[in-house]
Structure 1
Amino acid sequence: MDSSFSLKPVRPADQAAVRRSNLALVLRHLRDAGPRSRAAIAADTGLNKGTVSSLVSELVERGLAREGERERAGAVGRPGTIVELDGRGVGGIGVEINVDYLTALALDLTGTVLFEQRVALDVQALPVAKVLDAGAELTARALRECRRLGVVPAGVTVGIPALVDVTSGTVAFAPNLHWTDVPVVRGITERLTRRLGPPSFPIRTANDANLGALGEYAMGSVAGTADLVYLTGEIGVGGGVISGGRLLGGAEGFSGEVGHIQVDPGGRVCGCGRRGCWETLVGLAGMLRLAASPADPVHDPSLDLEQRLDMIRRRAQLKDKRTLDALAQVGTGLGVGAAVLVNVFNPRVVLLGGYFAQLGPYLLGPMMTELEARVIAPRIGGCRVELSWLGFSAAARGGAHVALQAVFDDPALVPVQAERDSG
Structure 2
Amino acid sequence: MTGVSGTALGWALTAIVGVLTAHTWLNATRGLRRPPPGTAGTDEPVAVLLPVRDEATRVGPCLRSLLAQRGVPGLEIVVLDDGSTDGTAEVVRAVAAGDPRVRLLDGAPLPPGWLGKPYACQQLADRAGSAATVLVFVDADVTLGPYAVAAAVTTLRSASAVLLSPYPRILADSPGERLVQPLLQWLWLTFLPLPAMERSPRPSLAAAGGQFLVLDRAGYRRAGGHAAVRDRVLEDIELARAVKRSGGRIALADGSRLADCRMYGSWSELRDGYGKSLWAAFGPPAGATAVVLLLLLLYALPPLLAVGAALAGAPAAALAGLLGYLLGVTGRLVSARATGGRGWPDALTHPLSVAVLGWLTIRSYHLRRRGRLTWRGRRVR
- Please give the range of the TM-score, normalised by the shorter of the 2 chains: under 0.3
TM-score normalised over the length of structure 2? 0.27
Q: Could you say which structure has the higher strand fraction?
A: 1
Q: Could you say which structure has the higher helix fraction?
A: 2
